[in-house]
Amino acid sequence: MGEKVVAGAFDLSDRQDYRHKLRRCLTGLERLLAQKRFDRPKNLMGLEIELNLAGADGQPRMLNGQVLERIASRDFQTELAMFNLEVNIAPHRLGGRVFDRLAEELRTSLAYAHRKAGEVDAGIVMIGILPTLDRDDLVSSNLSEVDRYTLLNDQIVAARGEDFALEIDGVERLSCTSKSIVPEAACTSVQLHLQVTPARFPAVWNAAQAVTAAQVAIGANSPFLFGHELWRESRPPLFQQATDTRPPELQAQGVRPRTWFGERWIGSAYELFEENLRFFPPLLPICDEEDPLEVLEAGGVPSLAELVLHNGTVYRWNRPVYGIADGVPHLRVENRVLPAGPTVTDVIANAAFYYGVVRALAEEPRPVWSRLPFETAAANFDAACRYGIEARLQWPRRGRLGGVVEVDAVSLVRDELLPLAEAGLDGWGVEPADRDLYLGVIEERCRRRTNGATWQVATFHRALEAGLSRDAALAATTRRYAELMHLGEPVHTWPVGLPEVVPLG
């Protein structure tokens, strides 16, 4: 959604023209794949992190325009709401001490952004959902001042035709409505990109789908929304409901939501792009002047602008991405399941685990997706979001017996997936020091059954027991979280509770 989109009205012919253009783009993609025009293996990965702005009081600050003006770096961009930013780290080749280099770049970038935000009495908080967000913060007047967000909001609202229903039944129950998609802005995540060849794409995407539950279980960091304690990772249900173009009648008919896990394992990247056209009406029917088939016939590389834009409005947890670098097209798997934070070390540990385990699973002679029903992988994802590190998951049984067996997420990660991640990182050529440091963080989270969500919940309840009101406890938890986040030690080492007596709120 980084396109420069200009807000305006669409008429009926715009949608017809756009659908026709999408079909030509899909044909162009099919021909590019058939002609083997895609980039050779480069082992490239990339990283994006969505961030929150909050003041010293722990409350959100609607200041992203002013903060970005002071940061003055292309690495930082707006996100949906005025309390959001996004930082993009340039692609790196997997291998060597890549994770230490990434960690250093991130620390430098975030420290600089935090200093600049401080000039307007704000600060950077890297967390899945800011606990102090209130319903009054998530209204259309707090959309970022960028045309594409206004236009996207208007189109999703028009498609739905009524208020959005937000209902999450977790530890507590949240039930409310919204007149806009802005509640989506509460969800701040990490996106992990991996460039792959077309031949490798389906195995990598399938492996990424299979492992999403484990990622979320050990990385959950979003237990609160609007003062309610909900799921350990509340972003996925919130994101789905806040972008849901389906009124209840279409939901009852089985129409697919625009934010979804998917419904089957795939055999090619083309299948995902084709599904996007088949299942999802265009939201932003903006046509580019380029004719992709004419460009192909002339020996060029088409941008497939309409296909790319449409793909950006279908919110898969593992999204296919078409891109062009140095005049050569490439494909990427964009993994979108992880929340931001808690610290740079935790983010990089999550990345190391993902890149390692996905490579190992994609290369197994008996792939996990041949032994795990897709519906079971989807159910695992929901269980991990709901219960976090305490989730119980279904996973293929070892040995020749076949079938699946229920296992707690910690045991699955520690006993089976961490050794795979270690082998996968070795396959990428990552140095043992990097591998052991960051996978060691995951191992310690498993040993202590601790992640960002468990720390937030435990600290919040300690604050309540100390006599604070719910709002004061959430604010105090947020302030302590931000303090420890900037100190930078991984979350499994954080002491639970508040460091000093906090005045009653």
Cis link prior to 198 (omega < 30° from 0)?
A: no
Give the residue-averaged pLDDT of 165-177: 96
Q: How many angstroms from the chain centroid is the CA of residue 49?
A: 8
Query: Is the pLDDT score of 9 beyond 70?
Result: no
At residue 223, the pLDDT reads: 98
pLDDT in tens, 338-395: 999 999 999 999 999 999 999 999 999 999 999 999 999 999 999 999 999 999 999 9
CA atoms within 13 A on the CB side of 255: 15
Token representation of residue 331 = 């494909």
Closest CA to 350 of 86, 97, 103: 103
Res 332 pLDDT > 80: yes
Is the predicted pLDDT of residue 5 greater than 50, yes or no? Answer: no
pLDDT of 2 > 80? The answer is: no
Q: How confident is the model at residue 13 (pLDDT cuts 50, 70, 90)?
A: confident
Mean pLDDT is lowest, of 10-19, 323-332, 379-388, for 10-19
What separation in angstroms does the CA of 13 have from each of 10, 76, 160?
8, 36, 21
- What's CA 52's distance to the chain center, in Å? 14
Place 148 in a pLDDT band, splitting at 50, 70 and 90: confident
Model confidence pLDDT, tens digit, residues 227-277? 999 999 999 999 999 999 999 999 999 999 999 999 999 999 999 999 999
Mean pLDDT, range 116-143, rounded to an integer? 96
pLDDT value of residue 458? 98
262 vs 500: CA distance, rounded Å: 47
Q: Is the pLDDT of residue 6 over 60?
A: no
Task: Please give the single-letter amino acid code of residue 39.
Answer: D
Could you give the CA distance from residue 333 to residue 311 in angstroms, rounded to a whole number?
13
Q: Is the dihedral of CA 144, 148, 150, 153 positive or negative?
A: negative
Backbone angles phi, psi at 52, to 5 degrees: -110, 150
Residue written as token pair 């699946």 = 404
Residue 4 has pLDDT above 80, yes or no: no
What pLDDT is attached to residue 7?
42
- Given a cut of 80, is residue 401 above it in pLDDT? no
| Average pLDDT of the segment spanning 198-215 | 98
Residue 499 is predicted with a pLDDT of 87
The dihedrals phi and psi of 412, each to the nearest 5 degrees, come to: -60, -45
Q: Of the given ranges (99-108, 112-121, 285-294, 462-471), which has the lowest mean pLDDT?
A: 285-294
Q: What is the pLDDT of residues 31-75, one digit of tens each?
A: 999 999 999 999 999 999 999 999 999 999 999 999 999 999 999
- Give the chain's mean pLDDT: 94
pLDDT surpassing 90 at residue 428: yes
Which token pair is 215? 């990622």
DSSP structure class, residue 144: -
